[in-house]
Structure 1
């Protein structure tokens, strides 16, 4: 806090978030160090005591009192030192001055027996945290509640401070006085997903258990009903079979708490994992994308076939049932991760059948009435579309990559420069973001010169493949316009109805009927 303000915004963070009126009482009940709500000072600064002068950042008054003989290591009636008050008020110049005058940087004080570093972390003062660590503060010390620095940063959801502590070598699996690692504490007491998601980026042990109840982070998330933490831990591959001291798995605890949504998540994840363990399904998992594409090709063919059947045909009903069954089987065999390629598979299947229709029916028909040279542009556009699609799909769009060492060095440099925020730092990728870079959620990576993620190629568009994507769209546009023009020529030559005489609806219906009947005669679909 730089200068004070409403107490509820500066002290009540983390698990408890009371309103303004009950803020200070709740803070005292929770043993959270409370800084008095600073009001504009009316009295003469020259008459302030040293504690008040420290809280208001009166450097000259503090110097005057210290030079007059005040011991900077002396604690007040609340057992709080000047360094504590300077840290909680984010008075960096005073911290430097007090340390130069002999203040102990790790001196314990307050009801929680905390260090100034603990107080600064509770308030989320990242500049103060960086300063105290530079001055030799020990982040591994435990306060009266049994929390180390990283546990407090996680508990109060100060993700930039967590990042800075990790960059300074803090162990991600360090245990507090109760034997809980930061990930367990986040799963148990933090409802927001950001701290848990951020901790998982540092690859903590998902199988670690507490020293008392032997619960894993997944156990704690289930017990507290933390749905977002359960989802993140399952996605990270947390072991569901580990039992606590009572012999209970995470699913057992979910059944005890009667949380139906978490029970469903755990059972669904167990079903998916058992599916992967089966030999045949493991083999099919390697060919999920091929299965998805083949299914889309079959579905589009079957839809056209059913539309060409008579309304009373039993084969049409059978095909509809087969289509539904195929859709369900695809959902069963294709994982959630590869389902994002569904729009791409549908687009490629449509392009395939459009190309086949043009090659086997439109092109021979057009060649009867015009020169073959007019078909060259559409042939080039078809080939170019597939080539540019492949290049846009396979080319690195500009993913921002960094080694673990570089990530920690960048975090430390940004924090010490006072600019470790979400405009310059990505908490998902742990990288410094260049200008015009954005974190893509589907790709889970930051992309340089990011353009929106394209559903049709299941790939980000960035500095690396932007030109290929534009060429793909251009060739797709040329092909679509040319095929539409040839379709109109074909319909006008083969439809027995007239647009002016019979109306648009009759003309369109007859054109579709002619298209499917001629496609069947051409051998693209077979009659029963």
Structure 2
């Protein structure tokens, strides 16, 4: 089919004229149809050009004058094809009412209007054609059905809509290839692959020609990210648990080995430095070969737990013997801090942070409803989770799930922080800070009892070197405790500031800060729909009445889809 623009001159969106000789051509103009073009003399446009530009009245005039809507032009293309590729919905309805065949084949690729609309990514047109009886299972001249074309051109909303309307995710093309096989060969980036895997396609299906599975095609195409995703999709949960155990065990061993080397009786720091470098090399090999680089995301969590374990051991075996029998309050406080830290870490890690959950039937219903109302886009629909996104929810790439009132994916707990566990996360930070402070206090007491150096008499450097030499293990663990105390206390302060004074999550505050830098207009952190004042913010977050002074708003953030104006006088329920 030859290209070239129409004779009518326009100052608005032009029509699409696809180059169908190429098998995977993409059209640059993906805009919606605009108003009628401003033409020198619209009455001179033939019906093909009038259809491309969406001139409804001109097309009606020519049809009423006797033009057969089923008649293909010189390029074997019908008016319905031109209307479909240019997203002229009113013209499609009119032509069908005048006898146009919804699944008529045309063009060099022998495609239906639905094929043309799918290639172009016009979801509203796909919705309309399916409502009018178009068959998405028909194949074009290249052997592709509509779902294969949607996969090739990575039109995720169209894929979701076709599947929701009953199209089989394992539909085969002329060569017996499923959409999953095409994705691993043609798609750029891992997102299309992740999207398809949400629909549970068959991982063991083979094509008719090469007898390859999707994994074979991924390997043959050199698509390493697709290989990893396919292996993960079929991986055993037991293997993951073993990997996690190895990360934690290696972290515990590594931390102990560092302290052991530092505590050696040798005074040669050159020797100790060489041993530490050797240890680091051995551990890196161990992690790379047995744990795997992809599991390193769990390393901060393993480091935190290992730190807490060795901090506890240091307190009970180094510091506790130095405390007097009368100082019962100190002992109780330290035990209380440790128990609170472990409990709230577990609660933060194990509690559902607010994952947006729907059944497969509900997902399909939502997809159809959003598509048919023109709302199936990335602002309202998560193509990874196949769910409608509530306000303040974010899709977490680490957890591969949408989280309600998302705050962050915590590096240290290895879990998302959202509406379900944000409260526990704050208490975890508080008890971690308390535990670190008590360990630093125990360190100072230990140094004063066991180390002969005096800060005022010997000076800072001599005091530092002598205390480190006095007990390298205690100095090492105290530095770890100092690190955790600093970041936990600072982050707790930031969290409380966001909650009390801004009414925002960490993710929302960072987005506003980015907007403030890039926007020409002033962006305020204080003036948002979620900031209701310090006391009301506290009452809403902790769901407490503050001794009857405030009434907390009851909002289900997993189902809140519309922006609202909160009121202090009445509760706001989910829409």
TM normalised by structure 1 equals 0.78
Match of 1:216 in 2: 213
Aligned 8 A contact 1:121 1:129 in 2: yes
90, 95, 110: which one aligns with 2:92: 95
Match of 1:353 in 2: 310
Q: CA deviation at 1:399?
A: 1.5
Match of 1:344 in 2: 301
Comparing 195-204 with 456-465, which one deviates more in the overlay? 195-204
Aligned 8 A contact 2:72 2:78 in 1: yes
Q: What does the per-residue CA deviation read over 1:397-443, in whole Å, with 9 as the maximum and x for residues that have no partner?
A: 11122222222221111111111112222222211221111122222
What CA distance in whole angstroms lies between the structure 2 residues aligned with 1:516 and 1:405? 61
Match of 1:297 in 2: 252
Aligned 8 A contact 2:21 2:109 in 1: no
Q: CA deviation at 1:361?
A: 3.0
**Are 1:141 and 2:138 matched, yes or no?**
yes
Task: Decide whether aligned partners of structure 1 residues 337 and 464 sit closer, same or farther in structure 2, where only a CA change above 3 A counts.
Answer: farther
Task: Decide whether aligned partners of structure 1 residues 323 and 192 sit closer, same or farther in structure 2, where only a CA change above 3 A counts.
Answer: closer
Q: CA deviation at 1:487?
A: 2.2
Q: CA deviation at 1:445?
A: 1.5
Match of 1:398 in 2: 354
What CA distance in whole angstroms lies between the structure 2 residues aligned with 1:103 and 1:156? 27
Match of 2:102 in 1: 105
What CA distance in whole angstroms lies between the structure 2 residues aligned with 1:200 and 1:93? 36
436, 439, 444: which one aligns with 1:483: 439
Task: Decide whether aligned partners of structure 1 residues 216 and 376 sit closer, same or farther in structure 2, where only a CA change above 3 A counts.
Answer: closer
Match of 2:181 in 1: 184
Q: What does the per-residue CA deviation read over 1:279-298, in whole Å, with 9 as the maximum and x for residues that have no partner?
A: xxx99976554444343333
What CA distance in whole angstroms lies between the structure 2 residues aligned with 1:312 and 1:367? 36
380, 385, 391: which one aligns with 1:429: 385
Match of 1:308 in 2: 263
SS at structure 2 position matched to 1:367: coil
Aligned 8 A contact 2:119 2:149 in 1: yes
Task: Decide whether aligned partners of structure 1 residues 4 and 111 sit closer, same or farther in structure 2, where only a CA change above 3 A counts.
Answer: farther
What CA distance in whole angstroms lies between the structure 2 residues aligned with 1:378 and 1:348? 17
What CA distance in whole angstroms lies between the structure 1 residues aligned with 2:78 and 2:124? 20
Match of 1:515 in 2: 471
429, 450, 454: which one aligns with 1:498: 454
Q: CA deviation at 1:195?
A: 2.5
What CA distance in whole angstroms lies between the structure 2 residues aligned with 1:476 and 1:91? 61
SS at structure 2 position matched to 1:439: strand
Q: What does the per-residue CA deviation read over 1:289-334, in whole Å, with 9 as the maximum and x for residues that have no partner?
A: 4444343333222221211210469997789767754664455444
Q: CA deviation at 1:29?
A: 4.7
Q: CA deviation at 1:167?
A: 0.9
Please give the root-mean-square deviation of Cα atoms over the aligned residues, in Å. Answer: 3.4
Q: CA deviation at 1:48?
A: 2.4
Aligned 8 A contact 1:497 1:507 in 2: yes
Unaligned 5+ runs, structure 1: 13-23, 238-272, 277-281, 520-528
**Are 1:420 and 2:376 matched, yes or no?**
yes
Comparing 101-110 with 282-291, which one deviates more in the overlay? 282-291
What CA distance in whole angstroms lies between the structure 1 residues aligned with 2:27 and 2:334? 74
Match of 1:56 in 2: 53
Task: Decide whether aligned partners of structure 1 residues 127 and 456 sit closer, same or farther in structure 2, where only a CA change above 3 A counts.
Answer: same
Aligned 8 A contact 2:14 2:53 in 1: no
Task: Decide whether aligned partners of structure 1 residues 499 and 449 sit closer, same or farther in structure 2, where only a CA change above 3 A counts.
Answer: same
TM normalised by structure 2 equals 0.72
What CA distance in whole angstroms lies between the structure 2 residues aligned with 1:33 and 1:371? 77
Task: Decide whether aligned partners of structure 1 residues 315 and 29 sit closer, same or farther in structure 2, where only a CA change above 3 A counts.
Answer: closer
Q: What does the per-residue CA deviation read over 1:469-520, in whole Å, with 9 as the maximum and x for residues that have no partner?
A: 100101111221232233234334543223244332221222222234889x
Comparing 300-309 with 187-196, which one deviates more in the overlay? 187-196
Q: CA deviation at 1:219?
A: 3.1
**Are 1:167 and 2:124 matched, yes or no?**
no
Match of 2:414 in 1: 458
What CA distance in whole angstroms lies between the structure 2 residues aligned with 1:149 and 1:156? 11
What CA distance in whole angstroms lies between the structure 1 residues aligned with 2:297 and 2:259? 25
Task: Decide whether aligned partners of structure 1 residues 57 and 319 sit closer, same or farther in structure 2, where only a CA change above 3 A counts.
Answer: closer
